[in-house]
Amino acid sequence: MTDFLPGGAPRLTRLCDFVRYYADVAPSREAVVFGETRLDYAAFDGAIDRCARALQAAGVRPGDRIAMLTTPRPEFAVVLMATQRIGGIWVGLNTRYRLPELRHIVDDCAPTVLISVCRTPEGRLFEADLEAIAADARGLKAVVTLPESTPRVGQSFEDFLSAGDGHDLAPAAAGPDDPTVIVYTSGTTGRPKGALLAHRNLIYCYEQVSRSFAGKEQLRDGLRILCNLPPNHIGCISEMLGNAIIRGGAVVFAEQFDPAGAFDLIARERITLFGGVPVMLEAMFADPAFANADLSSVKAIGWGGAPAARDLVRRMKELGVHLFTNYGLTEGGAVVSATGPDDDIDDLAETVGHPDSSGDRRIVDDEGRDAAYGQTGEIWLKGPGVFLGYWNNPAATGVAMAPGGWLRTGDIAQARADGAWVLSGRKADMFKSGGFNVYPREIELVLEEHPDIAYAAVIAIADPRYFEVGAAFIAAKPGRSPAPTEIDAFLRGRLANYKVPKTIQVRSALPMLPIGKVDKHALRGELKTNEDGQ
């Protein structure tokens, strides 16, 4: 007999098991929508098995990595779940990454198969990058390109799938602690690190989101979720795709985010739940298309990753739909704290809701002791949302984990009298631009590869649109004076666009601390003085 989770979904181990379950109990229910493509649960399940056969026929063994460079589209869901069925590990690559970033990740996780789009809707072509990667990737057995392209590199997805037809599928058994996905996050040390997630990490998010819906069953019946975040992001995998599939709902893919296109899809596909990072919602509510948007199907809007401005929350509230927000992180669970079904504008704008009670949560002071009641401290987490560690990087895992198995999140918070968490900052100098994490050190390292730059410092500055953006300060080598426009172009060839600082100042030297590090505090002070003086 099926055991059920709080929130009504069956208690199963892997995301792919939910597809099989709904294929049995509701085979003709719609599962996946993308343009003209529509798959019901039976067809979705069949597509996953076909892909699993192809992966095994290509030589993928349990524990092997399957890397995917893709926009949000059905093949992402099919390949991810096929990888789960045969015990592999799926790795997402962002289509905004430039070649050096892609190379680093492929080098680090050494995939057996690389599956990629050939172009993005914005027109970026990947053939040259794929050729360069394929030329020196160790252990890579196949490069596969998705439809809507004429591949010169590797084989087409359809040929890849056909090669597996007739292969006897040997499904892998899996437990909740087995690894399933690597999500690359940038790090304070500069190079992106792979956070290794177990099946339980992906299911955990569903359970947390269910708390936001508690007692409002009408919100989750007939769920249709708009999925328009990059698939390498935990929010796309867990909060969008995972949430829809675990509840037996439909996931409607949009390859790129644009406000008018999102409104159009919401109306056409009768979306019941959408959301993302606040910068996306800001853009939607500020767009002229909002005035005529048909949002009559929408029952709930959710956001996370960064705080939403009170005015945005107020405007969304006027729609009369259920609003929810949450706090989470790749390494500790996509949703760790969540607002409740009856929270008001103040709760939604000021807090990230109540922490989940199934795992252990602490707010600790600098000595690792529980912070006194009402004091701020760092959030430490233990329990089912916490990741397995960084891929191939025990040193980084050791830094992230405190004694006793606690994950140090780096996030500073305080508990309100009613127990809701209020976030107030981060320990490291990571900042959030448009919902993406940006680590200044990663950008500084790239800047310091420039032949005219001696050293560089990047700091975050507040931005009305993206929440935070980078500001770069450059110390030029003696006798050199690189132009900011030229440095900008240099960065754009090497880093995803959201990491590129919005302002670049070139100087002969930067203020230094006695220990020889750039005095970022002084730079922040300078920016503030300039702002105040304007």
Q: Which stretch binds ligand AMP (CB under 6 A): 265-273, 300-308, 362-370, 445-453?
A: 300-308
Question: Smallest distance, Å, CB 351 to ligand AMP?
Answer: 9
The residue within the footprint of ligand AMP, chosen from 248, 304, 377, 383 (CB under 6 A), is 304
Q: List the one residue from 329, 371, 475, 500 that touches ligand AMP (CB under 6 A).
A: 329
| Region from 51-59, 68-76, 265-273, 328-336 binding ligand AMP, contact rule CB under 6 A | 328-336
- Site for ligand AMP contains 186 (CB under 6 A): no
Among the listed ranges 40-48, 244-252, 311-319, 326-334, the one in contact with ligand AMP (CB under 6 A) is 326-334
Q: Which is nearer to ligand AMP, 13 or 433 (CB)?
A: 433
Minimum distance, C-beta of residue 92 to ligand AMP, in the bound complex (Å): 12
Residue 419, SS3 per DSSP:
coil
Residue 454 · residue 476 · CB < 8 Å: yes
Where helices occur in 453-496 by DSSP H, the ranges are: 484-492
- What string marks each residue from 336 to 375 as x (binds ligand AMP by CB under 6 A) or -? ----------------x-----------------------
Measured distance CA(311)–CA(348) in Å, rounded: 11
CB 112 within 8 A of CB 98: no
- The reply to whether 201 sits near ligand AMP by the rule CB under 6 A is no
Residue 305 lies near ligand AMP (rule: CB under 6 A)? yes
3 state DSSP class of 489: helix
Tell which one of 72, 187, 259, 307 touches ligand AMP (CB under 6 A). 307
Binding mask 217-236 for ligand AMP (x = CB under 6 A): -----------------x--
* Torsion angles phi and psi, residue 490, rounded to 5: -60, -45
Residue from the set 325, 339, 397, 433 that interacts with ligand AMP by CB under 6 A? 325
Instruction: Write the burial class of residue 464 (CB in 10 Å: 0-12 exposed, 13-18 middle, 19+ buried).
Output: exposed
Which one of the spans 303-311, 343-351, 479-487, 488-496 is the region binding ligand AMP (CB under 6 A)? 303-311
CB of residue 150 vs ligand AMP: minimum separation in angstroms? 35
Q: How many angstroms separate the Cα of 512 from the Cα of each of 1, 120, 455, 477, 521?
A: 66, 43, 11, 16, 10
Taking CB under 6 A as the criterion, which residues in 394-433 touch ligand AMP?
409, 411, 423, 426
Please name the residues in contact with 75: beta carbons below 8 A apart, sequence gap of 6 or more: 68, 115, 146, 157
Binding range to ligand AMP, per CB under 6 A, among 81-89, 97-105, 151-159, 301-309 = 301-309
**Exposure b/e, 25-52, CB count within 10 A at least 16 = b:** eeeebbbbbbeeeebbbbbbbbbbbbbb
518: DSSP letter: B
Identify the residue whose tokens are 């990667």. Answer: 133
Query: How many whole angstroms from its chain centre is CA 141?
Result: 27
Q: Residue 382 CB, nearest distance to ligand AMP (Å)?
A: 16
Q: CB neighbours (10 Å) of residue 482?
A: 18
Query: What is the number of alpha carbons within 13 Å of residue 71 lying toward its C-beta?
Result: 22
What residue type is assigned to position 454 of the chain? A
* Count of residues engaged in binding ligand AMP, rule: CB under 6 A: 17
Is residue 465 a contact partner of residue 279, using CB atoms and an 8 Å limit?
yes
Binding segment toward ligand AMP, per CB under 6 A, in 206-214, 321-329, 451-459, 481-489: 321-329
Using CB under 6 A as the criterion, which residues of the chain lie in contact with ligand AMP when the complex forms? 185, 234, 304-307, 325, 327-330, 352, 409, 411, 423, 426, 437
